[in-house]
Each structure stands twice: as C-alpha cells, then as structure tokens.
C-alpha cells in the first residue's frame, strides 16, 4: 500500500501535464456575438475531454481560437485571432476563415467552362483571389447544428452562394462541419453541391503559431510531404509547370527551421506544394514543431495541394490579449487544389457538376514532445 501511495503524486502530475481530466465532459456552448448583414452571429466554444478548446463562429465559418497545452501542461492559443466580431469584419487576410468560392488566384479574373466565358470580380492586380471582394470569409453562414457525440464535439454551418455571386455560375450550397476529437484533432469536413456546372476550391486560412502567438514562426520546424511546387510568375500566378524542390529553399521533406532559408524566397513563402500521395484518401501533408513549447501540429488532407504562407505582410494588427501580429507571426497550411486550375487543364480538376457532391477533409492534430 505504501508503494502505491508513493506513486500517486507522480500520477496526478503526469495527468495534469498531459492536460487530461478524466472527469471532464466534452461540451459545446453558444453565445451571441453580434449582427452582420442583418443576420445573427454566434460564437461556439467546443471543449474536449482533454480540455482542448476550439472556438468557431458562423461569420465566415471562422476558427477564432484553438488552445492546447505545451510540454508542461500550460494552455495557450495556437492560432492568430481576435476577440470581437467587429475586428473580423474590419480585418483583411481571412484569419481562420473558410475561403471560397475559389481559394487562391484565378488569372485575369476569368475562365471558360463548357465553352462559356465567365468574368469574375478582379480584386488583385487584375486577377481574382479568395473568391472576390466578398468571398465566403465575409459571409454569415447558417447554423445547422451543434452537439456532442461520444468523445467528439461538432458544429456545422452552411452557406448558399447564389448564381453569379462574384461572377461564379450556379447556386452552390456549401456545408462545413468542425469536429474536435478526443485525439486532439480539429477536423474540417466540406461538402458542396451545385445546380449548374461551376468551379470550386475551398480551404481554411488559419494562421498557426505554436509558441502561444507571442513571437514569429521563423524558429518553428516544418516538414512538408512534397517533391514539387507550382511555378508562379512575378504576381503569383501559376505558369502551369511544376518545379522540383530538391536542393532548393522550398524543400521541407526533412524538418527545417522555417526561417533558415527564408531570405532566399523574399518576402517569404507563398507557394502551392503538390503533395506526395498514392491513390485517394487522407494523407499526412505537413508537420510543424516548436522546440520551446514542445507543441507539434500534424496536418492531414484529402486535397492534392497545400499552400504554404508565412504571413509575409508588414501590416500589423492587434489580436488576442493585445498581442501584436506582424510579419512572420503565423504559418498557414492551406489544404486546397492548385491556383488558377480552371485555366490549366493539366492541373487536377476543380469542376463541380450538378450530379456530383464535392467532399474534402482536413485535420490539424496537436500533441507535444
């Protein structure tokens, strides 16, 4: 009996450091967060059995907060975000939001589909980026449901994008479901249908910072499962070619510091990686590790590509707890199809027809080492 009692304090310490609480019940709560475009905006707080917290709002189907423990059990936020709806309405950059109808760029703000030319909103140097002037990140989604199922917590949003919104054809219905699992995964499931042929490319634009969002991500280690990137021109449009990364500053097949070669790609990384895969299904795309906190994030996806973005803008803003976000304060791992795919037949198909259902799954899994 004395031996067992001697080990009890150590057992309690280990449980605390792992952020576990065996008596904690997974939960989801909802609170009013304001009004936008005549619609009610809500903030949902999802908590799992390990005290991991995920906050999402139906404004832009946005992740506003994820908090996970470091190796010592100290919880801190690991995504850049803001404390009020007004800040999300005002800010540029789609912090944590769902991007659509087409994430990334479409060259010349136009494409041809089934012989018909479609002209889109030109909002970036004569091109379309992230869906136009008012993409999905600035729309108020409908709230479908929120609930606890076993050890998982879920909330689902949907948005009906009307025919020709920002120039895109078809009435498109997108459903986005966030799930927080007991394995400390944030799972994002996308499902979309349309009544006319259209093009789609969805992603989430979360800016991750495993150091508690207090400093840059240049000292984070990054590994990307990819052998090539999309070659782009001076304004970021794909040429249609894929370039091998071996021996270049874009090669992260082995974990390297994000900042170790960033001077060679000034102002920073903003590239689409073709992920290495065999067949369909979900694969590991990337892993990020912060040596100071010990936090690790693995990113999985069903998509063919991942946009790596290192928050290269000099524009500064104030986020959670008064933290100032600036250049290199966040790293984005945006799971998606390739940019400008409608104008490059050799790229993976992005056409969605009325008799089809688009599906995508992205997972961000957190741990420590």
Neighbours of 39 (CB within 10 A): 14
Per-residue b/e over 163-172, b at no fewer than 16 CB within 10 Å?
eebbbbbbbb
**pLDDT mean over 25-52:** 97
Q: Which is more confident, 35 or 9?
A: 35
Question: What pLDDT was estimated at residue 5?
Answer: 38
9-23, 239-253, 355-369: range with lowest mean pLDDT: 9-23
The answer to whether residue 205 is catalytic is yes
Contact 269, 327 (CB under 8 A): no
What percent of the chain has a predicted confidence (pLDDT) above 90?
Answer: 86
Q: How much of the chain is in helix, strand and coil states, percent to nearest 5?
A: 10, 45, 45
Placement of tokens 């992005």 in the chain: 350
- Exactly one of 165, 166, 185, 334 is catalytic; name it: 334
Residue-level pLDDT at 317: 86
Give me 327's structure tokens.
Answer: 């250049």
Q: Distance between CA atoms of 271 and 184, rounded to whole angstroms?
A: 28
Q: Are 205 and 331 spatial neighbours (Cβ–Cβ below 8 Å)?
A: no
Percent of the chain surpassing pLDDT 70:
94
- How would you classify the pairing of strands 295-301 and 358-368? antiparallel
pLDDT at 8 over 70: no
Mean of pLDDT over the chain:
93
For residue 10, which phi and psi values (nearest 5 degrees)? -65, -40
- How many Cα atoms are found within 13 Å in the side-chain-facing hemisphere of 6? 3
Rounded distance between C-alpha atoms, residue 255 and residue 270, angstroms: 18
| Per-residue tokens: 147 | 């609930």
337 is catalytic: no
Retrieve residue 230's tokens. 């999309």
Render 55-71 in DSSP notation, one character per residue: EEETBTTEEEEEEEE-T
Selected catalytic residue, list 76, 165, 205, 287: 205
- φ, ψ of residue 48 to 5 degrees: the values are -100, -175
In the prediction, which pLDDT does 323 show? 82
**Domains located in the chain, CATH noted:** 21-214+309-363 (2.70.98.10)
Max alpha carbon distance in the chain (Å)?
81
**Structure confidence at residue 211 (pLDDT):** 96
Question: Alpha carbon of 75 to those of 65, 109, 133, 173: distances in Å?
Answer: 12, 43, 36, 36
Euclidean distance between CA atoms 78 and 220, whole angstroms: 12
Is the model's pLDDT at 192 over the cut of 70?
Answer: yes
CA distances from 293 to 71, 130, 207, 212 (A): 6, 33, 17, 8
Predicted pLDDT of residue 53: 98
The predicted model scores a pTM of 0.93
Task: Name the pLDDT band for 1 (thresholds 50, 70, 90).
Answer: very low
């Amino acid at each position: 009996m004395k031996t067992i009692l001697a080990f009890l304090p150590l057992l309690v310490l280990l449980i605390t450091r792992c952020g576990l609480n065996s008596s904690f019940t997974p939960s989801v709560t909802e609170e009013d967060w304001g009004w936008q475009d005549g619609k009610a905006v809500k903030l949902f707080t999802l908590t799992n059995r390990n005290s991991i917290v995920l906050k999402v709002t139906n404004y832009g189907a946005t992740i506003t907060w994820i908090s996970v423990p470091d190796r010592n059990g100290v919880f801190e936020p690991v995504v850049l975000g803001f404390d009020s709806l007004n800040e999300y309405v005002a800010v540029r950059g789609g912090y944590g939001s769902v991007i659509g109808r087409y994430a990334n760029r479409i060259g010349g703000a136009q494409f041809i589909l089934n012989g018909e030319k479609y002209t889109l909103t030109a909002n970036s140097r004569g091109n379309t980026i992230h869906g136009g002037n008012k993409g999905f990140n600035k729309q108020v989604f409908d709230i479908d449901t929120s609930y606890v199922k076993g050890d998982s917590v879920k909330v689902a949003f949907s948005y009906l994008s009307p025919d020709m919104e920002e120039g895109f054809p078809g009435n498109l219905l997108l459903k986005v479901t966030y799930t927080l699992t007991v394995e400390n995964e944030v799972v994002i499931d996308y499902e979309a249908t349309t009544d006319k042929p259209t093009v789609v490319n969805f992603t989430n634009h979360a800016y991750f910072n495993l150091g508690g969002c207090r400093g840059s991500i240049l000292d984070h280690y990054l590994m990307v499962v990819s052998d090539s990137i999309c070659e782009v021109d001076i304004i970021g449009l794909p040429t249609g070619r894929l370039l091998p990364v071996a021996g270049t500053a874009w090669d992260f097949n082995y974990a390297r510091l994000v900042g170790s070669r960033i001077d060679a790609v000034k102002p920073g990384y903003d590239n689409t990686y073709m992920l290495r895969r065999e067949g369909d299904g979900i694969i590991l795309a990337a892993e990020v590790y912060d040596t100071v906190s010990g936090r690790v994030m693995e990113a999985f996806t069903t998509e063919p590509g991942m946009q790596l973005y290192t928050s290269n803008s000099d524009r500064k803003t104030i986020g959670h707890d008064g933290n100032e976000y600036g250049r290199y304060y966040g790293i984005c791992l945006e799971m998606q199809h390739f940019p400008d795919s409608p104008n490059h037949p050799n790229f993976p198909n992005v056409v969605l027809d009325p008799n089809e259902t688009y599906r995508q799954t992205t997972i961000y899994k957190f741990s420590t080492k």
